[in-house]
Amino acid sequence: MKYPQLKLDNQLCHRLYMASNSVVRAYRDALKALELTYPQYVVMMALWEEDEVTIAQLLQKTAIDGGAMTQILKKMTDKQLLMVIKDDNDKRKKLVKLQSHGVKMQLQAADIPQQIRCQFPSINEHEAMQLIALLDKLNTDLA
């Protein structure tokens, strides 16, 4: 090969791409019972952590693209998991609030992180924490 720096096996970005796809696939079965896609699950986790937040706060917390978030919130509103309401203090802002079905879903989802974690038996807890730290650094550098 004339340019070894172009060899696919030497690319960090390709490994991240493969890992990302693999992780999202791993979540499919776990999320099937909840009838959620992975991005919808991310939104639910953010709302379980803090309910009744602005759309801007939700975008910040989840790092989901604004256009995609609009579609996600519409589908989740149709499923009666959440509602988008006007902020009483500032009519220009919209708040996202869980509905009762969305709140109850948290109990069903409680074991999903462990189900997924069990699919990575070769990575111990220390390595998992290191991986989180490295990915946080990468995301900070690319922001």
Q: Coil, strand, or helix at residue 36?
A: coil
pLDDT score of 127: 96
pLDDT score of 43: 98
Tokens of 107: 């109990």
**Architecture in CATH of 4-142:** Orthogonal Bundle (1.10)
pLDDT score of 20: 93
pLDDT score of 90: 83
Residue 83 φ/ψ, nearest 5 degrees = -140, 150
Give residues with Cβ within 8 angstroms of 85, minimum separation 6.
Answer: 94, 95, 97
Residue ranges, the chain, pLDDT below 50 = none
Q: What is the pLDDT of residues 64-103, one digit of tens each?
A: 999 999 999 999 999 999 999 998 888 888 999 999 999 9
pLDDT score of 92: 85
In the chain, where the domains are located: 4-142
